[in-house]
Chains A and B, each alone.
Chain A
């Protein structure tokens, strides 16, 4: 309690207005320095193109529709893979958190599979699926599965047993107990899993698209490398960063909305 209090204490000292802008100062400064370094020739254009060149390359790709198409393909793969892997992970987490039998049956197996780095499966996955969509979806889903599974399971297992007993004393049915006590109690941990999973989702997708794809941002970057279009390569990397940031922000907003009861999210 006092720990949480002291951690969130700095919120009191924050200036409310500047809050949204402050975080952009450093990225903007980096871009400005980068531009100056490129224009003055301090950094050779072969190594790193100027931000303005990257922006120009982006504009051209945007006009040709290629950029949007590739972003859309990558976004689609990421979300579908996330949904599939996330829901399976969530389902297993629920089942193993709520049922001893289910946990005994599957947990050990899952823990063993977890120790295989999922990217090590790429050669096998290519043999199975070729460079088909399903290959990427499979890898993303597999990568996302474990953080969601583990954190859902952990969340459910660490719900205060006193609260569960309280729910029983006050006559809650199993469904009510889940809805009012267990699920809300596990939610903070589930969100930790989601944030982890989002990171893994992009990482998996980049690697998979770079190695085995005929569309998407990773493919666009690899194509550009073949034609020595370094500005497009840099552009792809930046877009990945941006999408990653967007996904993280979205999950934070969701977290803030659903966990408004949590002392860490309370407005002061």
Chain B
């Protein structure tokens, strides 16, 4: 199934594969700009619903972490807490010793959340935060658009873009301020299989180029093992499993090694499911 898809991938895919020339075949980002993330005893409830019951986690700077877990287990809540979109009930989240600016942490959601009344380029400029009105805003936004391969769409309305293109604009908007932590909440969940794979390549490429700390929530275990250095399984409000993925990049999708990992993570998820 996976190999069948791979052979029929569009040109964009081939082009990005060409970028993985032997010299750039590294498994780590070229340079790490990311922030480390430490979470201690993190708890969060909504009314009587105790969603997170004590999360302890350290993510080294520049690591690519995937978070999986059954629906409603609190993945989005954890991500929103990290991004500062929800109040912490107990515990702490810290980003190393550095003073964190709002522009340092960006989130991408399943919905692109583009302003329909702003052209693609202005939508990307929104991502500059307080630098929105600076003189180089245009140039920076264009550079971010180039990174996601959408320069030619700069003057379009979002409504004419495809789902994958909209998500790429959202990615450019998240990248334009050069964030040091990028949190993704099922960003590819609404895309078709082919677009998904080329978006996964794109995510991996920008992560490798920019070296931010990446936290990807996904329900697709194959995606998690293909992209991440480390996969966390959340169950009953805690981190139930913490699995390192040591496979070298670029990774061969559907390889025996990844399939084995995928299988074992899936069985963790299923056993959690059986208990309820």
Q: Which A residues fall within an 8 A CB radius of B?
A: 160, 162-163, 165-167, 169-172, 180-181, 184-185, 187, 259, 261-263, 266
Contact with A along B71-106 (1 / 0, CB 8 A): 000000000000101000000000000000011001
Partner pick for A263 among B83, B115, B118, B159, CB 8 A cutoff: B159
Q: Give the interface size bracket for B toward A.
A: 20 to 34
Q: Do residues A169 and B115 form an inter-chain contact, with CB atoms below 8 A? A: no
Q: Is the CB of A261 within 8 A of B157?
A: yes
- What residue in chain B is nearest A268 (Cβ atoms)? B160
Distance between Cα atoms of A163 and B114 in the complex (Å): 7
Q: How far is the CB of A183 from chain B (nearest CB, A)?
A: 10
**A residues near B115, Cβ cutoff 8 Å:** 163, 180-181, 184
Q: Is B10 close to A, CB under 8 A?
A: no
CB atoms of B129 and A266 under 8 A apart: no
Which residues from chain B contact A166 at a C-beta distance below 8 Å? 113, 126
- B169-197 contact mask (Cβ, 8 Å, vs A): 1 or 0: 00001000000000000000000000000
The residue from B83, B118, B130, B157 contacting A169, defined by CB atoms under 8 A apart = B83
A172 partner residues in chain B, CB cutoff 8 A:
126
A261 lies within 8 A of B129 (CB)? no
5 extra interface residue pairs, beta carbon distance < 8 Å, beyond A261-B159, A266-B160: A166-B126, A169-B107, A171-B103, A171-B129, A172-B126
Q: Looking at the assembled complex, report how far the CB atom of A137 sits from the nearest CB atom of chain B, in whole angstroms.
A: 34
Write out the residue numbers on chain A whose beta carbons fall within 8 Å of the beta carbon of B113.
160, 162-163, 165-166
Say whether A266 contacts B159, CB under 8 Å.
yes
Whether A261 contacts B85 by the Cβ 8 Å rule is: no
Q: Which parts of B103-136 form the interface with A (CB within 8 Å)? A: 103, 106-107, 109, 111, 113, 115-118, 126-127, 129-130
Beta-carbon contacts of B145-178 to A below 8 Å, as 1s and 0s?
0000000000001011000000000000100000
Q: How far is the CA of A261 from the CA of B159 in the complex (A)?
A: 8
Residue of A nearest to B102 (CB): A171
Q: Is the CB of B109 within 8 A of A162?
A: yes
Say what secondary structure dominates the interface of chain A. Answer: helix
Within 8 A of A (CB), among B10-63: none
What separation, in Å, do the CA atoms of A166 and B106 have in the docked complex? 10
Q: Which of B109, B157, B159, B160 has the most CB of A within 10 A?
A: B159
Interface residues of B (CB under 8 A from A): 83, 85, 102-103, 106-107, 109, 111, 113, 115-118, 126-127, 129-130, 157, 159-160, 173
Contact (A170, B159) CB under 8 Å given A162-B109, A261-B116? no
Lowest 3 CB-CB distances: which A-B pairs, in order? A171-B129, A184-B117, A166-B113
Say how far A109's CB is from chain B's closest CB, in angstroms: 33
Question: A262 and B116: CB pair below 8 A?
Answer: yes
Once bound together, how far apart are the Cα atoms of A261 and B117, in whole Å? 5
Interchain Cβ contacts under 8 Å between A and B, 27 examples: A160-B113, A162-B113, A163-B115, A166-B126, A169-B85, A169-B107, A170-B129, A171-B103, A171-B129, A171-B130, A172-B126, A180-B118, A180-B126, A181-B115, A184-B115, A185-B117, A187-B117, A259-B117, A261-B116, A261-B117, A261-B118, A261-B157, A261-B159, A262-B116, A262-B159, A263-B159, A266-B160
Kindly report which residue of chain B lies nearest to residue A185, judged by CB atoms.
B117
Q: CA A184 – CA B157 in complex, angstroms?
A: 14
CB nearest to B122 among chain A residues: A180
Q: Known contacts A261-B116, A261-B157, A261-B159; is A170 also within 8 Å of B111 by CB?
A: no
Q: Assess A162 versus B111: contact at CB under 8 Å? Given A169-B85, A170-B127, A184-B117.
A: yes
- Provide the bound-state CA to CA distance between A169 and B84, in Å: 9
Chain A: minimal CB distance from B109 (Å): 7
Q: With both chains docked as a complex, state the minimum distance between the C-beta of A9 and any C-beta of chain B, in angstroms.
A: 15
Shortest beta-carbon distance from A256 to chain B in Å: 14
